[in-house]
Amino acid sequence: MKTAHLTLDPAFRIGTIDRRLFGSFVEHMGRCVYTGIYEPGHPRADELGLRQDVVELTRELGVTVVRYPGGNFVSNHRWEDGIGSRETRPTRLDLAWRSIETNQFGLGEYMAWVREVGAEPMLAVNLGTRGLAEAVELLEYCNYPGGTQLSDLRVKNGDTDPYGIKLWCLGNEMDGPWQIGHLTAQEYGRRAAETANAMRRLDPTIELVACGSSGRHMPTFGGWEATVLEHCYDLVDYVSMHAYYEEHDGDLDSFLASAVDMDAFIEEVIATADHVKAKLRSRKRLRISFDEWNVWYQSRFPGEAALEWRQAPRLIEDEYSVADAVVVGSYLISLLSHADRVAVGCQAQLVNIIAPIRTEPGGPAWRQPTFYPFAQAAALARGEALRVEPVAPHIDTRAYGPVPAVTAAASYDAESGRIALFAVNRDRTGPLELSVDARAFGPLRTGRHLVLADDDVRATNNLAHPDRVVPRPGDGARLDGGTLTVTLPPTSWNVLELTTTESA
């Protein structure tokens, strides 16, 4: 059997894990909202039309923050269309996804839903077809207590208390030519700076996210961040990152290794932000909002131009496999491994659209295999992220060259004494024995070893078989004199729990 080893030490601290790292994304796209989280008349819907089966699964998933309403949708969106009486809300065309938008689910419904699932709201403003004035008006409607036209309108619409939304995105993917209102870096940087300045005058407590590149593949990547941040570095708190990956041409080894691209992307954005900090002689240390990431089989999507104008169409409802779930686990490891700089993360999206949760109109909801790594990381990754550097055999990949067979991350909560180790075995050819030197923690007790793996890496969950793929107990971790030994099955996501005996 192949072997690998790593060291766990409380002194190898990366940074405190921000709970907002385990966020999600709800966009008015396909069936994410309509027949996803919102379906009046469904047997499990409440009086607002919110599906309680999806509420329960969202809580189980452990989502801490939810970005809304887009995504590409926001760049042609009028927020005023989704407030007030549903009977008077206009039906409009969504240019982003060629959909008919009824606006029956809007800002108030979103806030009610976010409260119900116990998550923090994260709102995006339209800097595509609209701009500074509309962004400030939306902020006033949401956060000002009362006594003005817009804040009193919120009260009239049934929300007496202000929403108190802290996280705001200054547009979405404004570097992309597909974006309604696409801008150059100079244009967007100036618009973001002016909007940020005005919004902070109204509410100095808010946190703002500037649009970074839509992906590392963009021809403007790097230069976009540098130019934008020179305009708004000291006015914003985060720069965004978006990344999607898929398996190409049956090259599963490269797909399983794709987190190395995510790591490089994060480190390059950090380097660019720190360059601007030095150039501006700023004292601020900018952090990252990785507010769109996931596996997405974009090659299967014919493009927006091929879509017919429909209301809530079945759109990009990828059915995920065990292999996809293992890859999602490796992305979570990448985020945890950069916890000192990545503060917000949003897996895109929550329901139906490339999502961990699937639903049928009038029918059930179920968990995709990708649900489980996210839920486990959200539940167990607490306290400090620890630097672990596995020494492992390498796998030769077509896209990334030699890549370690094992990638891993760990967290340590000093208050509870709990240690969580997350490990992925990328090797498809067989199991691997991982040896963990944890002597620095003193005496330990082993907890659960949970594994997501299957003899068929293409196995999925679907309407007919919603529990085909679920985490299962591993063969057991063996602890001997401060060294933990565990077998990682091929193509697997693994969670191991340890506890210091002093906390018992």
CB burial of residue 142 (10 Å; 0-12, 13-18, 19+): buried
The residues pairing with 68 across neighbouring beta strands, listed in sequence order, are 123
- List, in sequence order, every beta strand (DSSP E) within 175-322: 207-210, 238-245, 287-295
CATH class of 23-380: alpha beta
Architecture category of domain 2-10+385-503 in CATH: Sandwich (2.60)
| Contact indicator for 113, 322 with CB cutoff of 8 Å | no
The pLDDT value recorded for residue 126 is 98
pLDDT in tens, 168-202: 999 999 999 999 999 999 999 999 999 999 999 99
pLDDT in tens, 426-459: 999 999 999 999 999 999 999 999 999 999 999 9
Across the beta sheet with 478-480, the strand order is 2-7, 432-437, 483-488, 478-480
Phi and psi dihedrals of 502, rounded to 5?
-65, -25
Task: Give the number of other CB atoms < 10 A from CB of residue 307.
Answer: 15
Q: Which of 27, 109, 120, 292 is catalytic?
A: 292
- Domain-wise residue ranges, the chain: 2-10+385-503, 23-380
Best CA proximity match to 134, nearest among 178, 100, 168? 168
| Contact indicator for 494, 422 with CB cutoff of 8 Å | yes
Question: What distance in Å separates the CA atoms of residue 330 and residue 189, rounded to the nearest whole number?
Answer: 32
Question: What distance in Å separates the CA atoms of residue 358 and residue 317, rounded to the nearest whole number?
Answer: 8
Task: Give the number of other CB atoms < 10 A from CB of residue 473.
Answer: 9
- Concerning whether 56 is annotated as a catalytic residue, the answer is no
User: Do the first three CATH levels of 2-10+385-503 and 23-380 match, i.e. the same topology?
Assistant: no
The pLDDT value recorded for residue 501 is 84
- Which residues are within 8 A (CB) of 148 and not within 5 positions of it... i.e. 6 or more apart? 140
- Concerning whether 173 is annotated as a catalytic residue, the answer is yes
Q: Which of 173, 225, 247, 384 is catalytic?
A: 173
The pLDDT value recorded for residue 356 is 98
The pLDDT value recorded for residue 360 is 98
User: For residue 110, how far is the Cα from the chain centroid?
Assistant: 18
Give the HSE-up count for residue 69: Cα atoms under 13 Å, Cβ half-sphere.
Answer: 29
Please measure the distance between the N-terminal and C-terminal CA atoms of the chain and give it in whole angstroms. 35
Residue 69 preceded by cis peptide, ω within 30: yes
The pLDDT value recorded for residue 95 is 95
How big is the chain by its Cα radius of gyration, in Å?
23
The pLDDT value recorded for residue 503 is 57
Give the HSE-up count for residue 82: Cα atoms under 13 Å, Cβ half-sphere.
Answer: 20
Phi and psi dihedrals of 258, rounded to 5?
-65, -15
- Which residues are within 8 A (CB) of 265 and not within 5 positions of it... i.e. 6 or more apart? 216, 241, 243
CB burial of residue 63 (10 Å; 0-12, 13-18, 19+): buried
Residue ranges of the chain with per-residue pLDDT less than 70: 503-504
pTM of the model: 0.97
Question: What distance in Å separates the CA atoms of residue 102 and residue 12, rounded to the nearest whole number?
Answer: 52
